[in-house]
Structure 1
Amino acid sequence: MTDSFPLGELARRMGIELAEASAERTVATMPVAGNTQPFGLLHGGTSAVLAETVASIGAALHAGPAHIAVGVDLNCTHHRGADAGTITAVATPVHRGRTTATYGIVITDQQDRRICTARLTCLLRPAPGRRSGTRPT
Structure 2
Amino acid sequence: MSTDQLGPFAQFLGIDLDAADGDEVSAHWPVRSDLLQPYGILHGGVHCSVVESLASLGAALWLGDRGKVVGVSNATDFFRPVGDGVLRSVARPVHRGRTQQVWVVETRDEQDRLVARGQVRLQNLT
- Whether these two folds match at TM > 0.5 is yes
**Closer, same or farther in 2 for the Cα pair 1:5/1:21, shift >3 Å?**
farther
Larger Rg: 1
For the 8 Å contact 1:30–1:50, the answer to whether it is kept is no
Decide which structure has greater helix share.
2
The residue matched to 1:53 in structure 2 has which SS? helix
What RMSD in Å do the two structures reach over aligned CA positions?
Answer: 1.3
Q: Does residue 7 of the first structure (1) align with residue 6 of the second (2)?
A: yes
The count of aligned residue pairs is: 125
Identity of aligned residues (%): 34
**Long gaps (5+) in structure 2:** none
**Long gaps (5+) in structure 1:** 127-137
Distance in 1, matches of 2:59 and 2:10, equals 17
Provide, for residues 94-128 of structure 1, a one-character-per-residue CA deviation record: whole Å limited to 9, x for no partner. 001111110111011111111101100100113xx
Q: Where does structure 1 differ by over 2 angstroms across 4 or more consecutive aligned residues?
A: 2-5
Provide, for residues 83-103 of structure 1, a one-character-per-residue CA deviation record: whole Å limited to 9, x for no partner. 111111101110011111101
The residue matched to 2:14 in structure 1 has which SS? coil
Counterpart residue number, 1:93: 93
TM-score under structure 2 normalisation?
0.93
Distance in 1, matches of 2:25 and 2:60, equals 11
Shift in Å, 1:65: 2.5
Counterpart amino acid of 2:110?
Q
Distance in 2, matches of 1:68 and 1:40, equals 37
Distance in 2, matches of 1:28 and 1:65, equals 24
Matches within 5 A, 1:96-135: 96-126=96-126
